Structure 1
Amino acid sequence: MADAAGRLTKLAEEVLGARLPVRIRAWDRSEAGPPGAPVLVVRNRRALRRLLFKPGELGLARAWVAGDLDIEGDLYEALGLLAGMIWESPEPAAPPQRAAALRALFRPEVRAAAGEILSLVGLPLPPAPPAEEARPRRGPLHTLRSDRQAISHHYDVGNDFYELVLGPSMVYSCAYWESPQATLEEAQRDKLDLICRKLGLKEGQRLLDVGCGWGSMVLHAARTYGVRAVGITLSEEQAAYARKRVADAGLTDRIEIRVQDYREVRDDPFDAISSIGMAEHVGRARYAEYAGVLYALLRPGGRLLNHQIARRPLADEETYRVDEFIDRYVFPDGELSPVGRTAGALEDAGFEVRDVEALREHYALTLRQWVANLERHWDRAARLTSPGRARVWRLYMAASALSFERNRIGVNQVLAVRTPEAGESGMPLRARDWRA
């Protein structure tokens, strides 16, 4: 049918209750919408069927990952315009209402009025989800087995792929930017060194890095500060990569890499613990346990550096729901907490919280660098994993950059001490002078 773009624009504006801020190009080459705006490309009718059977974010995500939808023009601009209408609506009840309105257009009793739209969809059979989608979890969350499966989904997609995105530092967490003109590698090195200084690492001390990734933290700590380090991860691919890096650096006598859950560590005590971008995987139901386990693994006077993404607090915390796109395609079973709840859980476990540093703007800069790396190596990244997986990462990282920039989420370094009963924390009087 001619002018599919015009009809889609009209439908979208009726459902959203506002003017569509992006231009639409449909499979029949028709276009509609504001001139000069980013273009939302609807490649086929299957995109509409995905939205019909899963209205809202999951349907949009499936269409994007499968390549049924695309964006031409500035990706950040397009996501920013759409986020203001869909994901960041000031009306809490708006998304369910919109989903109901979209479904209502396809009920038998209104087909006469919606005949033109139905003709756009074609045979309304539900398309299969893209292969990159994780199946919904059955059974209890955050068991030893389910956490291993969730971590594997995210991290065991190929070390070569992550090398393209992360660059030589192989650090998959927020960098620390002394200046926006610094390189990604410099900013990641500065982040690792900042953590080492906050932990007060000294030669001969014993460090546990929880969720060690590809080994960058333990390597930096052993090389620069002379510690003996244990790095634990649930990813077999990360562990193999990290062990090779350790061997190549000649540090096998100082660093041990294990495939191990933090709940399985038994060889305490440690002088310091770093947990960098790992606590997001723990889950609300397990966070008290997480804090208690780390407290027990530290010697009295030992320090914990917990580096963690945080969401904004809600008036009713029971209404919190995990983002469907992230849960199915990025971090299955991942959950975010406000920084206040994180600090409270650490204190409940016995820690003394000594410092909290917000790095929200730093993560936005980091994510934009990762997106640029992915786009620069797009063809190879798609070959190393799949075109769908590359599209997942591009959308996830670009949308996350905007979320940090708009203060929808943040990231914080919480420094805590297992202060002895005598009360001597061992912290410097000028705690912020980490360079001293």
Structure 2
Amino acid sequence: MADAARRLTALAEEVLGAPLPVRIRAWDGSEAGPPTASGGDTPSVPTLVLHRRRALHRLLWRPGELGLARAWVAGDLDIDGDLYQALDLLAGLLWERPAVHRGRAAPAALRALGDPRLRAAARSLLALAGPGLPPPPPREEVRVRRGPLHTLRRDKDAIHHHYDVGNAFYELVLGPSMVYSCAYWDDVDGTPTLEAAQYAKLDLICRKLALQPGQRLLDVGCGWGSMVLHAAREYGVRAVGITLSEEQAAYARKRVAEAGLTDRVEIRVQDYRLLTDGPFDAVSSIGMAEHVGSTRYTEYAAVLHRLLVPGGRLLNHQIARRPEPDEEAYRVDAFIDRYVFPDGELAPVGRTVGQLEEAGFEVRDVEAIREHYALTLRRWVANLEANWVAAVRATSPGRARVWRLYMAASAVSFERNRIGVDQVLAVRTPDSGVSGMPLRARDWRG
């Protein structure tokens, strides 16, 4: 009698020390776990589907989040049912247990090798998996990286991994706005279109920067050019957008030409550290600072301060993590680092504000908008799922699976307050002390 699912459920609960909140369906057709809804055959919770024994090999060789991620990306493991519900149910066991705090992916039980009970569970799992060497990581995984973090070359390679996966793929996911950062919604239901919410976000940033016709704007990490296009078209500025992605730059230049704005918008493939043609009246950095890293953030803030005219404003839109009890123990999320944002780092918003101030900025406003990002991510996932065949054709099955998991898991993280996102408005206040800011908060134009 096929019973792999029952055995797996028992072993998982032995290791985790808690009931498994999802059902399991194994490669032999067996199923076990929480019961189906009363009166029908539909499971009351999502089902974790292990298509092949290879999924167990991945978990045995890399217990915890990385093993699960590899199994998911390779198609060895799937979710039957609501993906968001599954991630929400598993969050308490995998990502929010005290032992996995600060990025420790494997539960403490899996590292307690001296426990005879757990050794026995591991032997049983190995017997169930069968013989075999560890399977190679899926090809979508970042391979070995060498050298110091956040050099010019290494940062360019990291950006290439994430953004140069095909503009056609991003068109399917992001929609016509081609904005790859948190939108700004009117209500918690997210009833406006994604394009309207992204327009509202870009316009909010322009108003916070108090842009005026003829001013010079720098957009750091300009993506596909949406911010510089909006600022030039709606506010009459001259804009420079910089990116490290060749594919993004080519796409943005085409959009600028089609909009008839080549006389006012310039797109460059350039690192912010190499900019020498300041000053600018305003700087926007939208979803870029997560790539900077803690070792370079002070330099990042100092460079942007130097590039601004006295009285110029910076709008820094950045994802934040919650402070850790022991900041020295913080580790980057294994799945995100290997498959999504190589070398990316998140910092608490308090640290970001402090580093901007240390660089000479006067921080005038911090707006937390984490719920907005959850709504945005759910729209992106819906776009991806609705265009799944085309998305796979534009990249690869593994890459599409990476993006579906990363965006859905990120939505759950924002909803559960594991991470947030903040718009920090700062000013290079001149020595006179006249900041040019309005007396009343959030009356951005004064």
Deviation at 1:85, TM superposition (A): 1.2
Is 2:285 aligned against 1:275? yes
The residue type paired with residue 97 of structure 1 is: A
Q: Cα deviations across residues 355-396 of structure 1 (Å, max 9, x unaligned)?
A: 000001000000000000000001110111001101100100
Deviation at 1:299, TM superposition (A): 0.6
Query: 1:331 — aligned with what?
Result: 341
Where does 1:62-73 land on structure 2 (aligned, <5 Å)? 62-73=70-81
Q: What are structure 1's unaligned runs of at least 5 residues?
A: none
Counterpart-to-counterpart distance in 2, 1:428 and 1:118 = 66
Is 2:335 aligned against 1:315? no
Deviation at 1:303, TM superposition (A): 0.4
Deviation at 1:117, TM superposition (A): 3.3
Counterpart-to-counterpart distance in 2, 1:337 and 1:20 = 32
Deviation at 1:98, TM superposition (A): 2.6
Counterpart-to-counterpart distance in 1, 2:114 and 2:280 = 56
Q: What are structure 2's unaligned runs of at least 5 residues?
A: 36-42
Deviation at 1:428, TM superposition (A): 1.1
Q: Cα deviations across residues 131-176 of structure 1 (Å, max 9, x unaligned)?
A: 0000242110000000000000000000000000000000000000
Q: Cα deviations across residues 14-38 of structure 1 (Å, max 9, x unaligned)?
A: 1100110100000000000012221
3-state SS of the aligned residue for 2:219? Answer: strand
Query: 1:414 — aligned with what?
Result: 424
Deviation at 1:124, TM superposition (A): 3.2
Query: 1:33 — aligned with what?
Result: 33
Residue of 382, 388, 398 corresponding to 1:388: 398
Counterpart-to-counterpart distance in 2, 1:381 and 1:155 = 15
- Over 3 Å counting, the alpha-carbon distance change for 1:352 and 1:82 in structure 2 is same
Where does 1:199-238 land on structure 2 (aligned, <5 Å)? 199-238=209-248
Counterpart-to-counterpart distance in 1, 2:236 and 2:167 = 27
Where does 1:181-200 land on structure 2 (aligned, <5 Å)? 181-200=191-210
Deviation at 1:178, TM superposition (A): 1.6
Where does 1:346-425 land on structure 2 (aligned, <5 Å)? 346-425=356-435
Residue of 296, 301, 306 corresponding to 2:316: 306
Counterpart-to-counterpart distance in 2, 1:105 and 1:51 = 20
- Asked if 2 retains the 8 angstrom alpha-carbon contact of 1:208 and 1:231, the reply is yes
Deviation at 1:91, TM superposition (A): 4.4
- Asked if 2 retains the 8 angstrom alpha-carbon contact of 1:52 and 1:102, the reply is no
Deviation at 1:105, TM superposition (A): 8.3
Deviation at 1:106, TM superposition (A): 11
Deviation at 1:92, TM superposition (A): 5.1
Q: Cα deviations across residues 312-367 of structure 1 (Å, max 9, x unaligned)?
A: 01122111100000000000000000001001000000000000000010000000
Deviation at 1:102, TM superposition (A): 8.0
- TM-score scaled to structure 2, two decimals? 0.94
Query: 1:428 — aligned with what?
Result: 438
- Asked if 1 retains the 8 angstrom alpha-carbon contact of 2:429 and 2:435, the reply is yes
The residue type paired with residue 229 of structure 2 is: L
Deviation at 1:100, TM superposition (A): 2.3
- Asked if 2 retains the 8 angstrom alpha-carbon contact of 1:23 and 1:39, the reply is yes
Query: 1:130 — aligned with what?
Result: 138
The residue type paired with residue 6 of structure 1 is: R
- Asked if 1 retains the 8 angstrom alpha-carbon contact of 2:437 and 2:444, the reply is no
Query: 1:170 — aligned with what?
Result: 178
Deviation at 1:90, TM superposition (A): 3.6
- Asked if 2 retains the 8 angstrom alpha-carbon contact of 1:136 and 1:328, the reply is no
Counterpart-to-counterpart distance in 2, 1:358 and 1:273 = 19
- Asked if 1 retains the 8 angstrom alpha-carbon contact of 2:26 and 2:49, the reply is yes
- Asked if 2 retains the 8 angstrom alpha-carbon contact of 1:194 and 1:434, the reply is no
3-state SS of the aligned residue for 2:295? Answer: helix
Deviation at 1:99, TM superposition (A): 2.4
Counterpart-to-counterpart distance in 2, 1:8 and 1:102 = 19
- Over 3 Å counting, the alpha-carbon distance change for 1:223 and 1:103 in structure 2 is farther
Residue of 160, 165, 170 corresponding to 2:168: 160
3-state SS of the aligned residue for 2:229? Answer: helix
Counterpart-to-counterpart distance in 2, 1:18 and 1:221 = 53
Is 2:108 aligned against 1:100? no
Query: 2:39 — aligned with what?
Result: none
Query: 1:120 — aligned with what?
Result: 128
Counterpart-to-counterpart distance in 1, 2:59 and 2:162 = 25
- TM-score scaled to structure 1, two decimals? 0.96
Percentage identity across paired residues of the two chains: 77
Deviation at 1:104, TM superposition (A): 7.5
Question: Which sits farther off after the overlay, 165-174 or 2-11?
Answer: 2-11
Counterpart-to-counterpart distance in 2, 1:105 and 1:26 = 26
- Over 3 Å counting, the alpha-carbon distance change for 1:418 and 1:39 in structure 2 is same
3-state SS of the aligned residue for 1:407? Answer: coil
- Asked if 2 retains the 8 angstrom alpha-carbon contact of 1:41 and 1:69, the reply is yes
Counterpart-to-counterpart distance in 2, 1:115 and 1:210 = 52
Number of aligned pairs? Answer: 433
Is 2:64 aligned against 1:56? yes
Q: Cα deviations across residues 278-303 of structure 1 (Å, max 9, x unaligned)?
A: 00000000000000000000010100
